[in-house]
Copies of this chain bind each other. A is one copy, B any other.
């Protein structure tokens, strides 16, 4: 069990963040965050929903999806990239990394020789046979240009929806 941050502390953080963002602190939000914290893997929304259902029956799957979305928005949770779920492709080539906009998902390649020779971790302890790596830098793209603190979003949080139109990605060179 690895608890860098206690669940209680995180719940307080949730409370604070909700207040800052003017979001009601609902039992569902609390339950989803608790459920997420008790798993140390990277559960899918549905897995979280299952866990939530155990501690707070009656919470709908839809709500879990929405709450997770909110938690990500207020920066208390994060969506993890996963090849099994990903849907974007590139040609396999030289080592490079990605700049990813957490707002809209816009993503561009990055090459930086300083980052090309990182030490490989002792993956053997995990039974992993590593062959490659790439770094994902998270932030805000020019278009989204959000204040990094997210203190006062132009658009109310609950109205913002993840950018879904992948055509935007086409604007990089």
Residues of A within 8 A of B (CB): 1-2, 4-5, 10, 33, 36-37, 39-45, 47-48, 68, 71-72, 75-94, 97-102, 104-105, 107-110, 112, 114-115, 118-121, 123, 126-143, 145-146, 148, 162-164, 166-167, 169-173
Contacts and interface: CB of A to CB of B under 8 A. Distances in A.
Contact of A36 (B37, B90, B143): B90
B105 A91 contact: no
Nearest to A109: B40
A80 B91 contact: no
A91 B79 contact: no
B81 A136 contact: yes
Nearest to A39: B170
Most buried by B among A85, A98, A128, A145: A128
Contacts of A86: 79-82, 85-86
Contact of A118 (B132, B135, B163): B135
A88 B94 contact: no
A139 B132 CA distance: 7
A115 B77 CA distance: 21
